Amino acid sequence: MLPRQQHLFNALNDCTATCNECYSANLTSSLAAGRVRSILLTRDCADLCQLVAAFVARGSEHVQFLLRECAELCRACADEATQYDDDCSRRCTQACRQAEDACRTAY
């Protein structure tokens, strides 16, 4: 993998892991009812980042078609996470912003 592809792959995998962690934490939280959109976005973001990382890893010619949507979803997830002041949300915001930047740089 080229360094730029490796950077993208790493950012996507970090975002996947962080979003999955926050999804689980928020889903079981007593505050879950007030975080429905955040919970859904973290799940969607994790799933899409995981898919795009797989396309990057195998050098798929179709990855370019997914990068724009992945960047948009990462942005939406990060924007939603900034509304909450807890460690998981801060880490989610950071991971999503990094994945968004990596996706935008790649397309």
DSSP type of residue 84: S
pLDDT, average across residues 75-93? 97
- Tell me how far apart the alpha carbons of residues 1 and 16 are, in angstroms, rounded to a whole number: 19
Task: Write down all domains in the chain, each with its CATH number in brackets.
Answer: 3-106 (1.20.1270.360)
- Tell me how far apart the alpha carbons of residues 13 and 20 are, in angstroms, rounded to a whole number: 11
Closest CA to 52 of 24, 4, 81, 15: 15
Reading the block at residue 18, the tokens are 């962080």
Contact indicator for 26, 39 with CB cutoff of 8 Å: yes
What is the per-residue pLDDT across 5-59, written as a single tens digit (0 to 9) for each?
Answer: 999 999 999 999 999 999 999 999 888 999 999 999 999 999 999 999 999 999 9
Reading the block at residue 74, the tokens are 């990462």
